[in-house]
Amino acid sequence: MSHYLHDEKVKELELIANKARELLIEELVAAGSGHTAGPLGMADIFTALYFHVLKHDPKNPKWEERDWLFLSNGHITPIRYVSMAQAGYFPIEELKTLRKFGTRLQGHPERERLPGVESTSGPLGSGLSQAAGVAHAMRMDGKKNRVYCIMSDGEHDAGNLWEAIMFAGKYRLSNLTGIIDRNNIQIDGMTEDIMPLESLRAKYEAFNWHVLEVDGHNTERFVDAIEEAKAVYEKPTVLIAHTIPGKGIPEIEFDYRWHGNPPGSGPTDVFKDKATQGRDMLAKLRTLGGKIKSEHE
């Protein structure tokens, strides 16, 4: 499959990503709990992965030649569920069961509940260890599968993540690509106030990783970086993807208070009526932040 992105494909992916943001808000409103800012910020990346980058088959999730996608920061899984539903892993209507009793769509993903989910994640900092282990096993078995691991920036506070970074660097796992959601927020505030992370580039390079920094909302640049990672020999690659938390809803962008709050439970200084926060956010998404008239008006 060609990975060249022509203008029509870029536009198609942008439309899918914006629809994903709408489905996300509806999903969170139905659940009454869950994370808002991070999932909105990662909609473009998950869309690019599921609709262009990954070798995968929704009808055969255990396909032997598939790429493996690990989600270390499991709390942003609502947007992964949306992308999986859009790609055909399960009906879109099932998104409304997020966090309900007995659902396959738990608040943090569980491997044995939902086909297509490679690992259970909840404790931050552990996903890269799982991904690096699989990548090393693939290398030992002579397999060509690629392994991707999405991480938050805040979980780099965890020591076990750095053990995985050392491991992958030591074994030169060029079949492993890490993707950091560098949105600069965590649940209690800004990352550089709570536990400064910079320079992330220099730290990864010191552990023998190839480092690329990209705009996480520029699909063409993101795909180019993924392709560069495939061309790097005998080093794992990490993409530091700079994203805007709350992307698509200007009133909540870069506001860490929306890290763990769903519409209906968020602060009221912008969307004052908690009962209509979800509806108001959808209106913003459908009008591109108020830049165009809504067909719903």
pLDDT in tens, 256-269: 898 888 888 888 88
Q: What's the whole-number mean pLDDT along residues 86-113?
A: 93
CB neighbour class for 92 (10 Å; exposed up to 12, middle 13-18, buried from 19): middle
CB atoms within 10 A of CB 138: 18
Q: Tell me the pLDDT tens digit for each residue of 216-258.
A: 999 999 999 999 999 999 999 999 999 999 999 999 898 889 8
Domain ranges of the chain: 7-286
Asked if 260 contacts 187 with a C-beta cutoff of 8 angstroms, the reply is yes
Question: At residue 297, does pLDDT exceed 60?
Answer: no
Task: Look at strands 147-152 and 189-190 and give their pairing.
Answer: unpaired
Question: At residue 189, does pLDDT exceed 90?
Answer: no
pTM of the model: 0.93
Residue in this structure with the two tokens 């536009």, named with its chain if needed: 11
Asked if 35 contacts 76 with a C-beta cutoff of 8 angstroms, the reply is yes
Question: At residue 296, does pLDDT exceed 50?
Answer: no
Least confident of 74-78, 79-83, 121-125: 121-125
Average pLDDT, rounded, for the chain:
92
Architecture of the structural domain at 7-286: 3-Layer(aba) Sandwich (3.40)
Long-range contacts at 136-143 (CB < 8 A, ≥ 24 apart): 136/167, 136/171, 136/173, 138/175, 139/171, 139/173, 139/175
Rounded-to-integer distance, Cα 47 and Cα 13, Å: 7
What backbone phi and psi angles, to 5 degrees, belong to 126?
Answer: -100, -15
Q: Note the pLDDT of residue 190.
A: 86
Rounded-to-integer distance, Cα 241 and Cα 223, Å: 11
